[in-house]
Amino acid sequence: MGDVAHFRDEFTLIPAPRHQGAKKLLAFWNTRPAGGIVVGRDVPSRAIASLLSHIVVWEPLEDNSDMKVRLAGAALSRRFPGDLKGRTMSDLFPAEQFRRTLTESKQVFESGKPLVLDSQVMRGTIEVLHLEVVLLPIRSPDGKRPWLLSGVFYFD
């Protein structure tokens, strides 16, 4: 889609997912084992194999000022150019959107509850993409630190 500066995301919090992929991901999260979903143990998983191309796993930086991509599915290339692994939220989103996305991510960590967002990616007044984003709290591979799993599902 090109340079992120030319696009903006308009997010709306919604009470429940509408996209079938988002519903399946949330159902998987709701059946999580004690201690929550742990990267490496529960994700990736055969139970959500069909969704893995739509998933991003985010690791917070030590000071929680940003998050970096640990895993990213191929479907994300529709929204972001190039390899996402190792890139930060602040690199992928314009400043105002980065701050909002980071704040929402921290809310997911603190509450332990998912957020579901309807997102329209706009270029000026034109909708370029319409998608649903599910933000889920998960745990680092050692099970000790909060990480974030995002499911990104496109309406075509």
Query: What one-character DSSP code corresponds to residue 19?
Result: S
3-class secondary-structure state, position 77: helix
Mean pLDDT of 79-108: 91
What are the distances in angstroms from CA 134 to CA 19, 26, 57? 10, 8, 12
* Mean pLDDT value across the chain: 90
Query: What class does CATH assign to 4-154?
Result: alpha beta
Give the CA angle between residues 34, 64, 132 to the nearest 5°: 65
Over the stretch 12-36, which tens digit does the pLDDT of each residue have? 999 999 999 999 999 999 998 777 8
Mean pLDDT of 84-96: 92
pLDDT-based confidence at 2, cuts 50/70/90?
A: very low
- Residue 150 β-bridge partners: 56, 135
pLDDT (0 to 100) of residue 32? 85
Sheet containing 8-14: give its strands across. 8-14, 115-123, 126-139, 146-154, 55-60, 67-72
- Residues 132 and 111 sit within 8 Å (Cβ to Cβ): no
Nearest residue to 119 (alpha-carbon basis) of 1, 6, 11: 11
pTM higher than 0.85: yes
User: Does residue 150 surpass a pLDDT of 60?
Assistant: yes
